Structure 1
Amino acid sequence: MPAKPVIALRQAPAGKSNLKIRVDARGKPVGGRVVAQIRGGSTYKPQLRSTGRGYVDRGEQRIGRGSIVADTRGLEAPGIITESKTASTESLFRNGDRVLSLYAPGTGESVREVFWTPNTGYLPQSIKEISWALRDHHNDEFRLFDPRALDILYAMQLMLQRPETHIISGYRSPETNALLREESRGVAKNSFHMQARALDVRMPGLGVGQMRMAALSLRAGGVGYYPRSNFVHIDSGPVRSWG
């Protein structure tokens, strides 16, 4: 007899809808498409259970309180307005599907997701898939990513015509951020990485100077320039730049 599906459910705050992850006994999603493909052909979906302190998956990896379930009002916010140099690029951003193709060297995983469509807007399930790919690979903690940060990265991919972005750092747990601060004075104490609002990225075949100029032209958030480490930082915070 096939194993009964399990529904892992976290209680959402009052007035907000619950988000459910429906999986079978092997942790595979039920009744939906699998979209986050991990290199090697396998897939992974966390199955959560409450511990009173947060949520853990079947492998007993701690997932911080507030991960997987987020304020869905953020997913309904309008996308950023690009100031691209060509009307065709701006038209694609406003009127076409927004797709991210990402590779995370820290985990060896790739993901390609449509996360926004003109008819539907932001797609919460796709953003969850992307957020898992952008998790803290030191401890597998993750939070639902700010769609505005994903919009900024997509606009950069569109402008620079890059098929894939390498993610050096996505979400960062407080513990990981503290460790990195001990190693480098350049790590902010209240980093936007801890809020799932920042990405450190590089794009194969492009210099970080080109990436920096593209990010600055959007005027949509923070831009950090790290030529020695060969990456650019982008975030959905106030417009500012450094490096």
Structure 2
Amino acid sequence: MEQLAQFALSVGVAYLVLEFYCLPLQWSVSIRRAKLATPRLYWRALIISLTFAAIAWFFVGASSQLLVASIALLFASFLIKLLSTYLPDTARYFIGSQLAQVLVFLLLVVDLSHAWHIVEPLRQQLMQPKVMVVGLAYLIILTPTSKILALVLQRWSPVTQQPAQNLPMAGQAIGMVERSLVLTCVLLHQFSAIGFIVAAKSIFRFGDLTGQSDRQLTEYVMLGTLLSVAISVLTGLAAHALYHALA
């Protein structure tokens, strides 16, 4: 198990160093623009495959299985990167392409290490009710809570449309991050950190909410923040209690 972890972590570190520190940024720009027409697409896949083969050779030794795995990785890296060039250049698709690449690495590491016997116990661990309770708590305080807050607060909304200088959907994103941090603090029993999170948000909004004419907006933001924090804390307490009740 320890060698498997070392193998997987070595591959992960090597990929991060290659993809984000060694390969020039211009390569990604060129690949997105020219797609199949640029040789950098092929060179990238080849470099990743050869690096993986070198690391795998150190851990499992040379074999025909390693050759097949390296060729499979070559084509997988090529196809994943090529497909990403046809998708919108957004965080969602970028994270998705990176997860696909990591999944390929994990499958090859497990296969070369002949460690398929650990997959089923790992799946059983992830499917345990205690783990699912924590996952459910985070799912609740993200988009569902945003929808609930929008419905509850709409009767007090002081604006009819978003000001031009505001970032689109920024408020919703800030709320999700805030609730995720609060929920994490509750699950870790770090309640003092919740005050720091709320105070930090209040300080950053202070400059926008100091005018007398912004009193309605100030009350609206305060109400939204308090409701958001309250839902996160209650969800965290419920998840914490249920987690320990299932022990």
Shorter-chain TM-score: what band? Answer: under 0.3
Higher helix content, 1 or 2: 2
Higher RCO structure (Cα 8 Å, ≥6 apart): 2
Higher strand content, 1 or 2: 1
